[in-house]
A and B are shown apart, each in its own frame.
Chain A
Amino acid sequence: MKVIVCIKQVPDTKGGVKFNPDGTLDRAAMLAIMNPDDKAGLEAALRLKDKYNAEVTVLTMGLPKATDVLREALAMGADKAVLITDRVLGGADTWATSSTIAAGIRNLEYDLIITGRQAIDGDTAQVGPQIAEHLGIPVISYAQDIKIEGDKVVVQRQYDDRYHILEAKMPCLITALSELNDPRYMTPGGIFDAVKAEITTWGRADLKDLDDANIGLAGSPTKIAKASDKVRKGAGEKIVPDSPEEGVDYIVGKLKDKHVI
């Protein structure tokens, strides 16, 4: 069984998001980490390795610095790592990114592709399903549990107030939630091997069946007008009603004003 896990290096938003004066993200001021949903996807793949001896390949698209998350994945137990990097691929939106990654995946053998649900820097949740679309394979998103039964995957898909159980024949793609599991740590020996490990690096020329109109900034239909920090909420309004009924009436009135109910 061959599993590909798509991972992304993202700025750690735990300590707050920092912006440059021009409104773009100040990535240098923030620690770069493996996207949490992707890490859960990697852990799910490593459990398939533990159980079924699956071969796990991690793949990312990004700057050469993104090898850091690939090496982290190798130190956790992944077998192979692929970096897709090229200047012409820069500035890609979800469409251009998924087109490029799908082209990279066409160079590899796979039974299952796992991606994170969404990255904490963009929060779009689009790249995983788009990759499946480009490759013409089924997708199950928001996985909170994954089982393998023969040539099928059986996935619990998280929903607002329940979960759905879905089956798909492999090859297919699953998008994972960080709630899926508790990712393992690296091991010290794994780190020493990972730093020495060879990482396959592909540029534009290595990607087949990929139209230049679908890559990089030029191939991205999304245009970001402006990015800004969250607007801080004010202190709020304090009401002391004379009776519970009056309190309820007040709240219901406010909800109606805002068209919530």
Chain B
Amino acid sequence: MDFTLSKENEMARQLFKDFAEKEVKPLAQEIDENHRFPRETVDKMAKYGFLGIPVPKDMGGQGCDILTYVMCVEELSKVCGTTGVIVSAHTSLCVDPIMTFGTPAQKEKYLIPLAKGEKLGAFGLTEPGAGTDAQGQQTKAVLDGDEWVLNGSKCFITNGKEADVYVIFAVTGKIEKRGKMMKEISAFIVEKGTPGFTFGTKENKMGICGSSTYELIFTDCRIPKDNLLGQQGKGFNIAMHTLDGGRIGIAAQALGLAEGALETTIAYVKERKQFGRSIAQFQNTQFQLADMATKVEAAKMLVYKAARKKDEYMSNPKTSYSVEAAMAKLYAAEVAMEVTTKAVQLHGGYGYIREYDVERMMRDAKITEIYEGTSEVQRMVISANILK
């Protein structure tokens, strides 16, 4: 097996690292405290192409591989989990499905400005009664002449109020599957500003506080017939495909959070003195750090492997990266939670204080075990594959 990174990947990592240190880190604490969306950072990321990394150049993107995109989310998340998820939700959940399932006209109209970062993307699947159970969807879309009419609401939507383009799922009818009547789900592209599309509650979250998490409300919202994404009734497949990719993005966010907490803690334990010596000299500290570093490295291997599998899928769509993505997200998210918790413990009382980055990192890490498929869902995906 080849574990060496390409020259491209190495240079790109250095770029993301420099950008994260200079542009993202100085804002991380403030946007968390004020629950403020870092628009200025998004504008800078757009300028440098960070919002279209795995999109072909003729579609306004950077023409890079998935691993480069993963490294971008990872490096941003090392210093700010919020910034990491803004890029991940935009790229994996909005850019990717339009790139994969969009018509040439949809790509021209939506993919190009999204990849250039002129527009920001979001994804609306979750509803109050439909989280893990996507069949619980209540939002409906009815064809009326040349328009689809949407009614219903979506909740916990990342980039919620800040996005311009939304990939939205809605029930378009009923179909019989294995003798059972099931909801037929379809995917749509909805633009901000469409009459009947408004925003509801802004969620007040435990972590990733700078990200804009909103409820989306559709009341007789009429969108052009051509904004159906993919075939009618294929919405569930589109959602599952999209979430497989999204999981790699969130796995990268989790990996970055764990790495950031580990790096911060290594620096802290060398400085902090107790009983006349640095706490790095105590065996408990050393053993804790050894375990943290080992798990972070294992998580990195799983996340990078999933990225490589998706790269393989991009050139050969007959392959699948679903299980690798689930394993990467499951493991990286649990490592992020464990490593950030240990980081707080090794910081002692200071780790519990807002001024210290590890306090924020621990709050940010928790969501990686929940969104884009909980750890339990990842276990369902993995076990279903093992036992089939």
Contact = CB atoms under 8 A, between A and B. Distances in A.
A188 interface: yes
Nearest to B69: A188
Interface in B31-74: 48-50, 53, 57, 61-64, 68, 72
Given A192-B62, A192-B63, A192-B64, A185 B15 contact: yes
B11 A185 contact: no
Nearest to B64: A188
B18 interface: yes
A19 B28 CA distance: 37
Nearest to B49: A187
A146 B231 CA distance: 56
Contacts of A188: 12, 15, 48-50, 53, 62, 64, 68, 72
A184 B23 CA distance: 12
B8 interface: yes
Interface residues of B, number: 19
A38 interface: no
Interface in B155-173: none
Nearest to B62: A189
A71 interface: yes
Contact of A189 (B6, B19, B61): B61
Contacts of B63: 189, 192
B329 to A, nearest CB: 23
Nearest to B18: A185
Nearest to A186: B15
Contacts of B53: 188
Interface in A168-193: 184-192
Contacts, number: 49
Contacts of B61: 189
A190 B52 CA distance: 13
B64 A185 contact: no
Given A185-B48, A188-B49, A75 B11 contact: yes
B7 interface: yes
Nearest to B23: A185
A72 interface: yes
Interface string A122-157: 000000000000000000000000000000000000
A195 B48 contact: no
Contacts of B49: 187-190
B72 A195 contact: no
Contacts of B72: 188
A192 B8 contact: yes
A190 B63 CA distance: 9
A180 to B, nearest CB: 18
A188 B72 CA distance: 9
Contacts of B64: 188-189, 191-192
A187 B48 contact: yes
Contacts of B7: 71, 195
Contacts of B11: 71-72, 75, 186, 191, 194-195
Name the residue among B49, B61, B63, B72 with the largest chain A CB count within 10 angstroms.
B49
A191 B69 CA distance: 13
B62 A185 contact: no
A90 to B, nearest CB: 25
Contacts of B6: 195
Contacts of B48: 184-188
A185 B18 CA distance: 9
Contacts of A189: 49, 57, 61-64
B87 to A, nearest CB: 12
Contacts of A191: 8, 11-12, 15, 64
Nearest to A196: B8
Given A187-B48, A195-B7, 19 more contacts: A71-B11, A72-B11, A75-B15, A184-B48, A185-B19, A186-B15, A186-B48, A187-B15, A188-B50, A188-B62, A188-B72, A189-B49, A189-B62, A189-B64, A191-B8, A191-B11, A192-B8, A192-B64, A195-B6
